Amino acid sequence: MSLSADTLYRMPDVELLSAYAEVRRQFVERKFTRDTQRARLAWIRAKMFVGGSGGVTERNMATFPRRSRARARRCER
């Protein structure tokens, strides 16, 4: 919902409250979706860490895949 400040200022209180409730609901829905995805990825990394066999290096690579990819890119240069 994108309303100008003037439109919001002229709105009756009841409509303003319903507009606020709708925008707040959309915000919470987006935040929940984002946090759910983050939690799912964290759970996958934790399972890889616990289930992995090997030393610390292998476990760190499972826990921090972004860092290992960055290291690999630096070594290619």
- What number is the average pLDDT over the span 49-67? 64
- Phi, psi angles (nearest 5°) of residue 2: -125, 105
Contact 63, 48 (CB under 8 A): yes
pLDDT digits (tens, 9 = 90+) for 8-30: 888 899 999 999 999 999 999 99
0.75 exceeded by pTM: no
Q: Radius of gyration (Cα) for the chain, nearest Å?
A: 23
